[in-house]
Amino acid sequence: MMNKMVQCVHWKEYQGLNGWVMFCSAGAFAKQLTREEAEQCGCTTEQRTICKKIMETNLGYGLVPDILKDDAEVALKEKKAASEL
């Protein structure tokens, strides 16, 4: 088995019919991360660029999660999630 190219809880890799599929599940499902969540999983600006490039090379496109900028955006995210219940 091959070692993962990106060490992150959101990074997924598997062998498909046409080769390896590598993607960020947080980006694929439009997840928004707070700065703290991003720091905890290593989702830095530099790492996001690397991840996006790997996805674009393998899949033709790449999606990375949005990083919330401040507490106001976090509050908005929580309010939106509560209203969807």
Q: Where are the domains of the chain?
A: 11-83
Tens of pLDDT, residue by residue over 45-66, are: 999 999 999 999 988 999 999 9
For residues 2-26, average pLDDT: 89
3-state secondary structure at position 19: strand
User: Would you place residue 82 in the very low, low, confident or very high pLDDT band (cuts 50, 70, 90)?
Assistant: confident
Rounded to two decimals, the pTM is 0.73
CA atoms of 35 and 70, how far apart (whole Å): 8
42 CB-contact burial (10 Å; exposed 0-12 / middle 13-18 / buried 19+): middle
- Which among 77, 84, 4, 6 is positioned nearest to 47, based on CA atoms? 6
